[in-house]
């Protein structure tokens, strides 16, 4: 599932391929992905206009338009972008196909149709409306510490709560907790300042390393749990077999020796 590192890579991809070219028209193949807009409204708003800039907040990608406002992309469980300089048959599962006036096309591909394409007058208002927490790469120590204060529940589900911290999902929460040596079910309110510091540092280190590795498990640093996260996997530090548990409805992988409860 696309998490912050994946979306950051899509943002860079959009920057490298799709800025400063006027849109011609949009083909919507999967109505379900449109959020609070219609194919007609989307087409009208984009036609003749260009994307000028991009920004990311958590798992949301905003591409600002020369006419004001922004195109909003969220990638659900499996979404991605695919640009081509020339118009041709779009990739399978294309949900939205953006045609540019110069003949190029940008496919928003969503095999499970769980992502969203939307328009907003202001990314800041969009973020506020959804009550998203600070971006996981931007959150400073004081905000992080205050957000953790007296929180009920386990640390994994807290890290994944987009209204607390935006951008972390199932896979990277496991990696962050592994790097910080914290059990996924540890109660947030029982974490002391040293543990919170480790956790805050691990968020930044893990997400930054994952972006550098192009979010490819094969290219993660050698001490990462991610490539070993599965049946038969062994902890890259101590070689103990990794274990899985259910944590707030999701599967968490962890090392029982390095992350004691």
Active site residues: 2-3, 59, 250
List the alpha helices (DSSP H) in 59-184. Answer: 123-129, 141-148, 155-160, 170-180
- Pairwise CA distance, residues 31 & 172, whole Å: 30
Q: Which C-beta is closer to Zn ion: that of 116 or that of 228?
A: 228
Which long-range CB contacts under 8 A does 216-219 form with residues at least 24 apart?
Answer: none
Cβ 243 to Zn ion shortest distance, Å? 10
Q: Which C-beta is closer to Zn ion: that of 94 or that of 259?
A: 259
Q: Which C-beta is closer to Zn ion: that of 46 or that of 226?
A: 226
Binding mask 155-194 for Zn ion (x = CB under 5 A): ----------------------------------------
**Alpha-carbon distances of 92 from 81, 83, 89, 107, 111, rounded to whole Å:** 12, 13, 9, 10, 8
Query: Is 258 an interacting residue with respect to Zn ion (CB under 5 A)?
Result: yes
218-257 binders of Zn ion (CB under 5 A): 235, 237-238, 240, 255, 257
Which residues have C-beta within 8 Å of that of residue 128, sequence separation ≥ 6?
none
Cβ 245 to Zn ion shortest distance, Å? 15
Q: Which residue is nearest to Zn ion (CB)?
A: 235
Cβ 220 to Zn ion shortest distance, Å? 16
Neighbours of 108 (CB within 10 A): 27
- Pairwise CA distance, residues 52 & 115, whole Å: 23
Q: What residue ranges bind Zn ion (CB under 5 A)?
A: 235, 237-238, 240, 255, 257-258
């Amino acid at each position: 599932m696309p998490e912050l590192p994946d979306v950051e890579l899509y943002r860079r991809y959009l920057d490298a391929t799709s800025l400063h070219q006027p849109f011609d028209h949009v083909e919507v193949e999967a109505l379900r992905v449109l959020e609070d807009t219609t194919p007609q409204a989307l087409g009208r708003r984009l036609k003749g206009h260009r994307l000028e800039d991009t920004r990311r907040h958590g798992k949301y990608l905003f591409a600002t338009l020369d006419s004001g406002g922004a195109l909003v992309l969220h990638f659900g469980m499996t979404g991605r972008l695919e640009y081509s300089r020339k118009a041709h048959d779009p990739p399978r599962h294309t949900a939205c196909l953006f045609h540019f006036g110069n003949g190029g096309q940008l496919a928003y591909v969503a095999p499970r149709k769980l992502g969203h394409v939307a328009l907003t007058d202001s990314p800041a208002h969009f973020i506020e409306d959804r009550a998203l927490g600070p971006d996981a790469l931007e959150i400073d120590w004081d905000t992080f510490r205050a957000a953790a204060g007296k929180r009920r529940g386990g640390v994994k589900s807290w890290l994944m709560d987009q209204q607390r911290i935006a951008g972390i999902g199932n896979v990277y929460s496991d990696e962050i907790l592994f790097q910080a040596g914290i059990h996924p079910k540890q109660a947030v309110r029982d974490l002391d300042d040293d543990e919170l510091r480790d956790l805050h540092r691990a968020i930044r280190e893990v997400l930054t390393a994952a972006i550098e590795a192009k979010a490819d498990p094969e290219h993660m640093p050698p001490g990462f749990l991610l490539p070993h996260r599965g049946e038969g996997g062994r902890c890259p530090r101590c070689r103990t077999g990794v274990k899985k548990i259910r944590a707030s409805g999701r599967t968490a992988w962890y090392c029982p020796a390095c992350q004691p409860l």
